[in-house]
Amino acid sequence: MHRRHLFKLGAATAGAVMLTACADPPDGDVDTDVVNDSTSWRMPDEGEPHLRTWMAFGASAEIWGKRLNRKVQQNLGAIARAIAQFEPVSMLVRPEETELARQLAGPGIELVPVALNDLWIRDSGPVYVHNESGRAAVDFNFNGWGGKQEHKSDAMVAAEVAKRAGVPTIHTELVLEGGAIEVDGRGTAIVTESCVLNDNRNRGRSKGEVEAELRRLLGLHKVIWLPGIAGMDITDGHTDFYARFAGPGSSSPGWTTTPTPLTMR
């Protein structure tokens, strides 16, 4: 589970532990019924303007170990404080850790009490989409990266965030993580077969079936499939191991001075 060691690098790992949101929390009750399947949506690039960032104060000693857990919690607080200088931040937190989160994140962060298993909200949280009529959130049925980790609480995060943000939920039978999808915001996406087509997520579904559903949900016109490699880390090879978009239609491949089977394929 190599990604956990990344937190030793500190706040530089912020991208995987936060979720940019197209909507603010509502002032009152909002209708969050399933949106019409015929509605056309677009998934924006992560760098496009947004209204707030969602985070999850979900580190635990059971998963991270006692020695590393405290450092991870401190890093989450530091990331939240840094982002809050520029935009609102909402942070999910276990009710019993609210005071600790407040101490580490400071007074400017909205704390939202919910049950959590872990902190990777980019994977467990909703994928925001929008069109001329409004915004919505896709719930991709987070299953702990193919059942590798306890996820009963994190499986509810997408629906909880969408509800609190006041946007309708788009449901699908696909199982994947938000971090498995790289988009340029103009209709092109990069995904890996090792993750998205893995039997531990979408058993029995063909590449064509999965791609058609991704096109419908995210407003895609082109899907680039990388082979990836399964089993080398908890994600089964998310796209950001290999490439990220630098702009519309322009991608930047991953590069390392110490090649491994995970980074070479």
Q: pLDDT of 139-163, one tens digit each?
A: 999 999 999 999 999 999 999 999 9
Q: Does domain 2-264 have CATH number 3.75.10.10?
A: yes
Whole-prediction pTM value?
Answer: 0.87
- List Cα–Cα distances, 229 to 37, 201, 226, in angstroms: 33, 15, 9
**Residue-range domain boundaries for the chain:** 2-264
What whole-number distance in Å separates Cα of residue 44 and Cα of residue 27? 25
Query: How far apart are alpha carbons 258 and 265 in whole angstroms?
Result: 13
Instruction: Provide the pLDDT for residue 259.
Output: 64
- Say yes or no to pLDDT of 37 above 60: no
SS (H, E, C) 146-178: HHCCCCCCHHHHHHHHHHHHCCCEEECCCCCCH
Give yes or no for a contact between 145 and 183, defined as CB atoms under 8 angstroms apart: no
Burial class (CB in 10 A: 0-12, 13-18, 19+), 238: buried
